[in-house]
Structure 1
Amino acid sequence: MSAVTPYDLLVIGGGINGAGIARDAAGRGLSVLLCEKDDLAQGTSSRSGKLVHGGLRYLEYYEFRLVREALIEREVLLDAAPHIIWPMRFVLPHSPEQRPAWLVRLGLFLYDHLGGRKKLPPTRAVDLTGDPVGKPIKGSFTNAFEYSDCWVDDSRLVVLNALDAQARGAGILTRTAVLSARRDGGFWSVDLGDASGARRQVCARCLVNAAGPWVEDVLEGVEGSSSQRRVRLVKGSHIVTRKFWAGDQAYLLQNHDRRVIFVNPYEDDLALIGTTDIAVEGKPEDAHIEDAEIDYLLAVVARYFDRPPTRADIVHSFSGVRPLYDDKAANPSAVTRDYIFDINPKQPANARPPILSIFGGKITTYRKLAEHALDRLSPFFPAMGKAWTASTPLPGGDMPDADFDGWLAAFRRQFPWLPDGLALHYGRLYGTRTTQLLEGAKSLSDLGRHFGALLHEREARFLIRTEWAGSAEDILDRRTKHGLHLSAAERQAFTHWLQGLNDAAPEPMRAAT
């Protein structure tokens, strides 16, 4: 890429906000370069609770605008990516020690109606003593409420936005850090460095600082930039156990401290339990789950379930650092999940190139955040196109009527030799792009080496070729969740195979920019 021709936007950060902004901007006709110092979604955006939801508990903090926006976005995203986003029912056992029944009913009534719910079924009252969803719950809890939200494969949501941005002309550079940036006349002169140590310089008319937990670090490296806004780092940790109840419903559990814990079905036979809210001191990348957090999560689950998991049942854990806007709330759980922009200068003046920094946000509202960010930049790009993403599916999501089940049935007829579990896996991760993955394949042997579970060589090569995957972690933990289902020996064998592939052909191992 030439440093002579400036980009309109240089987006710093390959999480959900950065990828969403790059996609939206490229579709409006701007030239865009996105730089991510690690892998796409390697930070917070692959370590979330994996939900597209309105945020039921935010109603207690009077975040009505945020909840309404999130509830509207829930259905927009359900239409845009039905392969990686799908409805889920949540059972909320009533615990009168935390909240009276009338307050819960009121909150759920608002939750059902604030966002103009169309696709998802409404809240219902549940008698836990007779309903199947109450079977795993202790007999001391007799009543519950059941409501709707959506599941999302968070890291794939990031990748799909980056893919669409690239398809619309954006450059995507992974493992490429912004080392410094300085204003040079009417442009930003930006120094980049990649994982090999190579350095280059590019120019841009505008910087977008979407670095999440590292947003303040980026500002420190940008000459002449500062902000009175501050980010507040709050760690959320999750544990993954074997699934310990029947059915595809999730549970929302109220704790004595008035926080809530999600217990969600995960990867068919697993359960995802979280999250905690812990203030973070130090580097975000050093955050990890602590013993006290594990004890906390297990204790909440044990309060409600007859046969709760123990430490011995934990198969995986992870911690994500949420870059929340610092609204000075004393309780980390009460810190707003809304987002704030800081732009300098606020309007075109003396040809000074702007920098837009993002503080806060949540995965559900990323698309709307991107729209609002570009609205803020419109004075600097008066010829920029209009908002367009609300009615445009993400890659793989272009299914008639956003009907995943109907599409999957047709896909299985097209590839009858695929085992059902593998067909569902490919359909869920790649949607209509699965035909690209399977092009020319006529039997299971055409998928190449089998590494264990549902992982075959063809899928790994597809991810390397098309989705910027370069390491075993990129493939096993972010692009897919195969890592949860492979033995240590199988994972080591795959890593060894991939290393050999990288050693033999280092250059093609990154998707084209």
Structure 2
Amino acid sequence: MSERFDLLVVGGGINGAGIARDAAGRGLSVALVEKDDLASHTSSASTKLVHGGLRYLEHYEFRLVSESLREREVLLANAPHIIWPLRFVLPHEPGMRPKWMLRAGLFLYDLLGGPKKLPRSHKVDLRKPPHRAILQEHLTSGFEYSDCWVEDSRLVVLSAMDAQEHGAKIWTRTECVGLERARDHWRVTLRSDGQERTVEARALVNAAGPFVDKVAKTALGSGTPAHLRLVKGSHIIVPRAFAGEHAYIFQQADDRIVFAIPYERDFTLIGTTDLLYDGDLDKVEISPEERTYLRDAVTRYLKSGITEEDIAHTYAGVRPLYEDNAKSNSTVTRDYVFEIDAEDGAPILSVYGGKITTYRKLAEHALEKLAHHIEIPSEGWTAAAPLPGGDMERSDFAHFLWQASERHDWLPAEMLLRLSRAYGTRIDLLIGEARSLADLGEHFGGDLYEAELRYLADHEYARSPEDVLWRRSKLGLHLPEETAEMLANWFARNG
């Protein structure tokens, strides 16, 4: 007899993980299936910001900005280990948006979304340190404002973990290959490791990101291509381009903006682009033209400039945006839209658009939509619920780090900071009874030890070197290439 669920979620990105978490916490039986690893596509290829979306104000998306700013505060409180405040400096570029427009936009940005813990915006003199040594001479004034950084793929993993801890089944590397609709349920064929099996679900959530249309076609016989615009965003990573813990937001002549953000201690993250995409969704890569665009975008502002040889790493992802017929890819809405089909049997809800910052509200709204078709407890619960590792006193990461250093004073300071940032209060579960680095098991280079691999495999669904080096962490930037082979051998021995 097939295993039966109230809800089956297709897609292990941020929206799918968020919906599975909320539904499981309301008492529904939930399964989430992902054909690859969690966050292996769009949700690990973001600019890694939890933000209101300052530039969305230009397009009058006040509801989206207001909701995003409120959610920024919620997420900062519930995941203070992987989300933290970041100050952004916006230089005024003569000939582009006038100062009054920037000032008015930031004034509105400060007002929208209700009370905030983060500092408000203010003018900044770019002729003074540290900006004087960093920016081109003609840039003399600008503005500074607050938003937040997020470890995007870890946010997905932690949401999936919390879903599982509330009873959900999380099946990675499991593809949905067949959907058969009945009056009161879906019969779903899943394929994993070459083997097929079937499960049943009263309702289906299609949160497959850029693959949303493919899943809709499997379920309904036809997709909804008119509602989907696939837009590729690419990023480059270079050695640290400027000192300081602030980020820059640079205006461009094509009305876009490009961020330059301190990244992984030794690097600067630069992005992003907006290009229509019609290629292989499993092999999304930055183009030579995008590399040049991002280098030139930053070189116009920084005294040091960026060369092709400076690029240490790149990544690209495809955003499944809702088609609103905007003329520009950069102005098409980042808001989320649901399409629900329940006329001919069990319901299927497809998710279009969305952004990391609003994923929790998206999940609440998705369940509100489904509640018209299946019984769902109406009370949301995630607004005041810390994510795994985020249950810190007063959401105070600095205080937690100090306590962790007292308990684990044998850990090198940089290693303790990285582990605390990644795992928060779960760091004690990872370390276990270890009292020295030798107790952490096999050493794979840098500060990566076997204890961390075991934790990732046992609790965070890691199954491959890439899962560890590029999604659960960004250690791939810091460790030699041969580390991947060492990890592959470890997974082969411990699979």
Shorter-chain-normalised TM-score: which range?
over 0.9
Provide the residue aligned with 1:183 in structure 2.
181
Contact in 2 for aligned 1:229/1:359 (Cα 8 Å)? no
Find the aligned partners of 2:446 and 2:484 in 1 and give their Cα distance.
11
Find the aligned partners of 1:56 and 1:187 in 2 and give their Cα distance.
42
Provide the residue aligned with 1:341 in structure 2.
338
Secondary structure of 1:490's counterpart equals: helix
Gapped regions of structure 1 (runs ≥ 5): 503-513
Provide the residue aligned with 1:506 in structure 2.
none
Find the aligned partners of 1:113 and 1:391 in 2 and give their Cα distance.
23
Provide the residue aligned with 1:280 in structure 2.
277
Find the aligned partners of 2:241 and 2:466 in 1 and give their Cα distance.
27
| 1:303 alignment partner AA | R
Find the aligned partners of 2:224 and 2:232 in 1 and give their Cα distance.
23
Contact in 1 for aligned 2:214/2:223 (Cα 8 Å)? no
Secondary structure of 2:213's counterpart equals: helix
Q: In the alignment, which of 148, 151, 157 is matched to residue 150 of structure 1?
A: 148
| Identity score, percent | 54
Gapped regions of structure 2 (runs ≥ 5): none
Alignment of 1:119 onto 2:117: yes
Deviation, structure 1 residue 18: 0.1
Contact in 1 for aligned 2:296/2:306 (Cα 8 Å)? no
Alignment of 1:221 onto 2:226: no
Contact in 2 for aligned 1:227/1:342 (Cα 8 Å)? no
Q: In the TM superposition, what are the counterparts of 1:41-440 in structure 2 within 5 Å?
A: 41-194=39-192, 196-223=193-220, 226-227=223-224, 230-345=227-342, 352-440=345-433
Find the aligned partners of 1:340 and 1:404 in 2 and give their Cα distance.
34
Secondary structure of 1:6's counterpart equals: strand
Q: In the alignment, which of 452, 470, 482 is matched to residue 445 of structure 2?
A: 452
The one-character-per-residue Cα deviations of 1:423-472 (angstroms, maximum 9, x if unpaired) are: 00110000000110011111111111221122111101110111111011
Contact in 1 for aligned 2:38/2:157 (Cα 8 Å)? yes
Deviation, structure 1 residue 225: 6.1
Find the aligned partners of 1:489 and 1:181 in 2 and give their Cα distance.
41
Deviation, structure 1 residue 485: 0.5
Residues 19-28 or 310-319, more deviating: 310-319
Residues 183-192 or 474-483, more deviating: 183-192
- Pair 117,251 (structure 1): closer, same or farther in 2 beyond 3 Å: farther
| 1:404 alignment partner AA | F
| 1:473 alignment partner AA | E
Q: In the alignment, which of 434, 440, 444 is matched to residue 441 of structure 1?
A: 434
Contact in 1 for aligned 2:336/2:362 (Cα 8 Å)? yes
Deviation, structure 1 residue 224: 5.2
Deviation, structure 1 residue 180: 1.1
Provide the residue aligned with 1:509 in structure 2.
none
Deviation, structure 1 residue 22: 0.1
| 1:249 alignment partner AA | H
Deviation, structure 1 residue 121: 0.5
Find the aligned partners of 1:133 and 1:389 in 2 and give their Cα distance.
40
Contact in 1 for aligned 2:203/2:374 (Cα 8 Å)? no
Contact in 1 for aligned 2:367/2:376 (Cα 8 Å)? no
Secondary structure of 1:333's counterpart equals: coil
Alignment of 1:489 onto 2:491: no
Deviation, structure 1 residue 354: 0.3
Deviation, structure 1 residue 309: 2.4
Find the aligned partners of 1:44 and 1:200 in 2 and give their Cα distance.
27
Residues 399-408 or 450-459, more deviating: 450-459
Find the aligned partners of 1:380 and 1:400 in 2 and give their Cα distance.
40
Deviation, structure 1 residue 382: 3.3
Deviation, structure 1 residue 497: 3.1
Q: In the TM superposition, what are the counterparts of 1:459-470 in structure 2 within 5 Å?
A: 459-470=452-463
Find the aligned partners of 1:299 and 1:228 in 2 and give their Cα distance.
34
Residues 223-232 or 465-474, more deviating: 223-232
Find the aligned partners of 1:339 and 1:152 in 2 and give their Cα distance.
20
Deviation, structure 1 residue 378: 1.2
The one-character-per-residue Cα deviations of 1:118-159 (angstroms, maximum 9, x if unpaired) are: 210010111111132342011110001010000000000000
Aligned residues: 495
Find the aligned partners of 1:222 and 1:294 in 2 and give their Cα distance.
38
Secondary structure of 1:130's counterpart equals: coil
Deviation, structure 1 residue 117: 4.0
Find the aligned partners of 2:114 and 2:133 in 1 and give their Cα distance.
32
Alignment of 1:38 onto 2:42: no
Find the aligned partners of 2:431 and 2:164 in 1 and give their Cα distance.
22
Secondary structure of 2:156's counterpart equals: helix
Contact in 1 for aligned 2:12/2:208 (Cα 8 Å)? yes
Provide the residue aligned with 1:9 in structure 2.
7
Alignment of 1:474 onto 2:467: yes
Find the aligned partners of 1:38 and 1:497 in 2 and give their Cα distance.
20
Contact in 1 for aligned 2:464/2:487 (Cα 8 Å)? no
Secondary structure of 2:330's counterpart equals: helix
Find the aligned partners of 1:50 and 1:142 in 2 and give their Cα distance.
28
| 1:191 alignment partner AA | T
Find the aligned partners of 2:128 and 2:313 in 1 and give their Cα distance.
33
Contact in 2 for aligned 1:133/1:247 (Cα 8 Å)? no
Find the aligned partners of 2:132 and 2:399 in 1 and give their Cα distance.
31
Find the aligned partners of 1:135 and 1:228 in 2 and give their Cα distance.
49
Find the aligned partners of 2:470 and 2:142 in 1 and give their Cα distance.
35
TM-score (norm 1): 0.94
Find the aligned partners of 1:76 and 1:478 in 2 and give their Cα distance.
23
Find the aligned partners of 1:239 and 1:288 in 2 and give their Cα distance.
11
Find the aligned partners of 1:211 and 1:494 in 2 and give their Cα distance.
29
Provide the residue aligned with 1:507 in structure 2.
none
Contact in 2 for aligned 1:10/1:208 (Cα 8 Å)? yes
